[in-house]
Structure 1
Amino acid sequence: MKSKKLLVSLATLLLTTGAALPVFSNINSVKADATVQQHEAPLVQNSKIGQGFYSPSQKLALPNPMLRTDPSIFFNSIKQGAVDTWKKHNFLPSVTAAQAAIESGWGTSGLTTAANNLFGIKGRYNGQYIVFPTQEWVNGHYVTINAEFRKYPNWATSVEDHGNFFTDNERYHNLLGVKDYKQVAKLVQQDGYATDPNYAATIIRVIEQYGLQNWDQEAFINTSVPKPAQSESTARVTVNSTFGYRSSGAQMSGTNNVFKKGTNWKVNGFKMINGQEMLLVGGDEYIPRKDTTIDNSILEINYYSNLTVNTYKKDGTLAPNKLKTGTKWKNSGFTTIKGQVMYQVGRDVYLPKLYTQFGASGPKPAQSESTARITVNSTFGYRSSGAQMSGTNNVFKKGTNWKVCGLKMINGQEMILVGGDEYIPRKDTTIDNRVVEVNYIPGQSVPTYKLDGTMAIDKLKNGTKWKNGGFRMINNEQMYQVSTNEYLPKKFTQFGHVDF
């Protein structure tokens, strides 16, 4: 399910703005169905409520739990699917449940009762669908047609499919893994899921009224990723006894009477000896890592749910293999590549340690810049010359989506190319970058540069935020100005991604 990408020119927009295909759906076909009851009110898109199709009378408000469904029955029916959303997608169960209640009218909407479709999603699910009348914008006016909507076997499945939406759309990746339901609710609204200014507040009120935050705590148990890095400071021997070795590879006679099962040893370093990784536990005394509690013979990818990490060749170039979170790989030893420890997991395929159970998980996924949604009531378009395009504020309205074709500094601010020579201010969209955040390895810092390409004095720590004064091309890469003659490479921000 990919986000619907709207138009690249004003002319195209005037023909299609308001078309009823939701961002959820990758199904473009609709067809008539004589079995639809003609007295049913057509479903319509309502960006205030969310991404799907809803009854024309439905409004964003706290659901009325006494309307037809007892709240405990409703929540019990979706709880497992919501909790699984955290395990599969790293999206909070409490927010999922609140959205389900809000968008389905507490389970009373026509789509919910007929097709277990809680979120008004068009298309088919495993080939299953139901036909409902919808109002869509065609040739300058609304017409009623019959369209396919996903039909689910139960509410839990609808909830789980809703989780797919957040991992399939990169603009929501900034909220995956966030554990604070208030922050997630605000990010959902900020990222453009719904346009009603009270959307986040409504989600939070539902969560707190029904104690849905307790679901989050249940989901966190043994499912949170990335997991904290496993400590390598102390090793406990797990076999009956093991021998010690010198760095030369010579076995130390009698040391099996010292390195016995259950004894603990402070780890002072690591080295490959006799084809296996050893732990330095004395001046020149090493023990096999595989014989301890910090055995790394099997490596697990420790990153974000449903996402993958890069691997490398020994020469430092990218390998074609991408490894998914949670998968496990046999370790054939380590080496240092590009200044970082990497484990060999295939023939000339090396996995950075920071993406394993012994690493710090690395940078967050880059925020997508492929599509921009207008976040202000309206904004003007501009030519590359800097001239404002008269009347375009009636086209570039709040909630409309635009395919990003390029970026350019115009009139002292960054603009987004959305047509042949049509630009809109980046600051007026969901990919606003007036504040940039350093996205790197937890606890580490990144370099900054001067305009002449030499390194600046300051290093900026991961997670810190900086005001962006515009971008320049320095050393053949895009950098943001964060101070006088001090530039931060884009690859180290929320809009870039480096593995280390």
Structure 2
Amino acid sequence: MSKLKRKRQKKIKQVSKSVAKIVSLFLILGMLFIVVLQHLSTSVQQTNDSSDTQEQTQQTFIAELLPHAKELQKQYGILPSIILGQAILESDWGKSQLGKDYHNLFGIKAGDAEDKVELKTKEYEDGKWKEITAAFKVYPNWQASMTDHTLLFVNGVSWNTTIYQNVLKATNYKVAAQALQDAGYATDPDYASKITSVIETYQLNQYD
């Protein structure tokens, strides 16, 4: 066999090996691409499922509170959007420890002779947030918490029985939210805007 022929065969073998390596590389890359696509597809599906589940949970929470909120509106004039908006903001859709375990949806504090539980919370004082331990009321169910919340607006507090009257008189959720903040319901300086944001995000004013 001539040297030229041997060189050609050697070159052909080298080219074949190179082609085989390239083909193998493309196959591996192709398989990796498919795996990545499958993973992304699964992640997107899980995200969609999670979003759907969260939305269903939120709608269930609203549906559970709405009938009693409407009853309280009929009896006392309080806007359902304010009841629902505060419940969502204060209890994180009923998932907070206070809301879930003790049925207190609104962070209402307890008096000396009332059933209570002590939990850590945050208060805004002197221009900054501080963690404190406070005594909160314990309720048998969410509806009892809603009733007590409304009666707080109706009866006020011992040192000012009319402090929440502007909340009850309000026919607009924005006015009611601002009245809550002005009356000092919460120490959060952005409380009114947060309540308003919740109401508008979930269109709770449709129930007013």
TM-score category (smaller protein): 0.5 to 0.7
Structure 2 partner of 1:107:
94
* Deviation for aligned residue 1:66: 7.0
Q: Distance in 2 between matches of 1:65 and 1:191?
A: 37
Residue correspondence of structure 1 range 237-248 to structure 2 within 5 A: none
8 Å contact from structure 2 (residues 177, 192) kept in 1: yes
Deviations 1:453-483 (A, max 9, x none): xxxxxxxxxxxxxxxxxxxxxxxxxxxxxxx
* Residue 115 of structure 2: aligned partner: 129
Gaps of 5+ in 1: 1-63, 136-141, 217-500
Residues 119 and 136 in structure 2, CA contact (< 8 A), matched pair in contact too:
no
Tell me which residue corresponds to 2:140.
Answer: 153
Quote the offset at 1:143 in angstroms.
11
Question: C-alpha separation between the residues in 2 aligned to 1:176 and 1:108?
Answer: 27
User: How big is the alpha-carbon RMSD for the aligned residues of Structure 1 and Structure 2?
Assistant: 3.2
Q: Name the CA distance, whole Å, in 1 between partners of 2:52 and 2:105.
A: 15
Q: 1:118 aligned to 92, 105, 110, which one?
A: 105
Provide closer, same or farther for how the CA distance between residues 122 and 72 of structure 1 changes in structure 2, counting only shifts above 3 A: same
CA distance in 2: counterparts of 1:65 and 1:159, whole angstroms: 27
Alignment of 1:16-165 (within 5 A): 70-123=57-110, 129-134=115-120, 149-165=136-152
Q: Which residue of 1 aligns with 2:176?
A: 184
Question: Is contact 2:98–2:104 with CA below 8 Å preserved after alignment?
Answer: yes
Q: Deviations over 1:284-332 (max 9, x none)?
A: xxxxxxxxxxxxxxxxxxxxxxxxxxxxxxxxxxxxxxxxxxxxxxxxx
Contact 2:166 2:176 in 1 (8 A): no
1:175-207: CA deviation from partner (whole Å, max 9, x where unpaired): 323211111112222222234343222222221
Q: Return the alpha-carbon distance in structure 2 between the equivalents of residues 177 and 65 of structure 1.
A: 37
1:215 CA drift (Å): 1.4
Q: Alignment partner for residue 153 of structure 2, among 153, 166, 180?
A: 166
Aligned counterparts of 1:79 and 1:90: Cα–Cα separation in 2? 14
What runs of 5+ residues in structure 2 fail to find an aligned partner? 1-50, 122-129, 157-161
Helix, strand or coil: the match of 1:120? Answer: coil
Shift in CA distance, 114/211, structure 1 to aligned 2, threshold 3 Å: same
CA distance in 2, matches of 1:184, 1:106: 21
C-alpha change, 1:209 and 1:158, in structure 2 (3 Å) is same
Q: Would you say how many aligned residue pairs link Structure 1 and Structure 2?
A: 144
Q: CA deviation at 1:101?
A: 0.3
Would you say the 8 A contact 2:87–2:105 is kept in 1?
yes
TM-score normalised according to structure 1 size: 0.26
Give the conservation status (yes or no) of the 8 Å contact 1:98–1:207: yes
Higher relative contact order (CA 8 A, sep 6+): 2
Aligned amino acid, residue 129 of structure 1:
D
Cα offset for 1:130? Answer: 4.9
Cα distance, 1:148–1:202 mapped onto 2, change above 3 Å: closer
1:200 is matched with which residue? 192
For the pair 1:175 / 2:167, whether they are aligned, the reply is yes
- Determine which structure has the larger helix proportion and give its number: 2
Check whether the contact 2:78–2:167 (CA below 8 A) recurs between aligned residues: yes
1:177–1:133 distance in 2 versus 1, CA, 3 Å: closer
Structure 2 CA distance, aligned partners of 1:96 and 1:83? Answer: 10
Counterpart amino acid of 1:168? N
**TM-score, with normalisation over the residues of structure 2?**
0.58
**Mapped contact 1:69–1:107 kept (Cα < 8 A):** no
1:208 Cα deviation (Å)? 2.0
Q: 1:214: which partner in 2?
A: 206
- SS of aligned partner of 1:196: coil
| Partners of 1:117 and 1:158 within 8 A in 2 | yes
CA distance in 2, matches of 1:96, 1:65: 24
**Secondary structure of 1:171's aligned partner:** coil
Larger Rg: 2
Task: Give the conservation status (yes or no) of the 8 Å contact 1:84–1:160.
Answer: no
